[in-house]
Structure 1
């Protein structure tokens, strides 16, 4: 069965980030506390077993609810309310793959120790401008690399990019630096498009 996954990192003013926290925060926490999630994370951290990584990045379906809307009473959805914001395309990293997950590719590229430096849970996070600045050194440690190391990491990711498409190593680092310099927050969402 085919699917297309997407991972986005978008930069927003703190006022909007503050609105996102009560919506996205509990869904990310639910993914992290999904039965078996922590155990899979620990197992992947120590052994690098890909089956555990696949289960982690596909998640428990909590964040996925943001794709179409949370409920009939709360129609908030990522496509309209986050990706559809005016001017967001200038402050957006968006990576979509058929039959694969961008976050899985990133984690395979950098390995368990560096993946553990990323905030949130498996590509999902909502950070204020202060949190972006606080986490930038960890992101630079996790994602910065020289040309040879980057070529090897891109190979390990297993992802095939279109010409001029930003990689899962470059896009997140660009977004963190942009947000830190502009003193704005970040929202990361990984889900399946249908």
Structure 2
């Protein structure tokens, strides 16, 4: 059994999961290049290759009140929009889980946060422009080795930020985590650095890469 267990997709489409005692999981890992091509055809349109989220950039309501940092209805609308893509087929999910490295390291990032979806927190931090350069549909994606090489420059532009832009993005991620989550010691910088590190590792080794989200 791999150390992070078998992740199953258990999304509710209500967009209000943060109101109950639950945990968001995000896995980003390399997969063998020769396995990525046939899987990508099964993964394609339902979840993995949709464009970046439309519409939210036009939502002018702030997502959190300044005091005491409580979520507004805009935060709920963002979650609703993100969850509208529906689940990844279990057969594809199980196949990807079997291909990930057995241990965390340069080729595997696994994070779990109480009452928060980590990939959604990253999306909130990056805002619409940064997300448009990110692969997949908010945490769920599958890239062949060739696609990793194509996507990596865009991911570098979106995630390899310098001050003060990096500080602003990290502050927004922390705002989401603090407003909705229960993990005060979570290292928000990991959400920028670790997934990008996995993509770099995949590119250097001629591998594919895949991301999966889950909600327990």
TM-score (norm 1): 0.76
Residue in 1 that maps onto 2:96: 82
Distance in 2 between the 1:171 and 1:99 partners? 21
Q: Which runs of no fewer than 5 residues in structure 1 stay unpaired? A: 71-75
Residue in 2 that maps onto 1:73: none
* Higher helix residue share: 1
Distance in 1 between the 2:45 and 2:125 partners? 28
In the alignment, structure 1 residue 10 sits paired with structure 2 residue 5: no
3-state SS of paired residue (1:82)? helix
Instruction: Determine which of 163, 169, 175 is the counterpart of 2:198.
Output: 175
Quick check: 1:43–1:52 contact (8 Å CA) kept in 2?
Answer: no
Residue 26 (structure 1) shift = 4.3
Quick check: 2:28–2:108 contact (8 Å CA) kept in 1?
Answer: yes
Distance in 2 between the 1:108 and 1:165 partners? 12
Q: Which runs of no fewer than 5 residues in structure 2 stay unpaired? A: 1-19, 61-73, 178-182
Q: Deviations over 1:71-103 (max 9, x none)?
A: xxxxx644xx43344734232111211111111
Distance in 1 between the 2:80 and 2:100 partners? 34
Residue in 2 that maps onto 1:56: 81
* Greater displacement, 143-152 / 10-19: 143-152
Alignment of 1:27-66 (within 5 A): 27-28=46-47, 32=50, 41-47=53-59, 49-63=74-88, 65-66=89-90
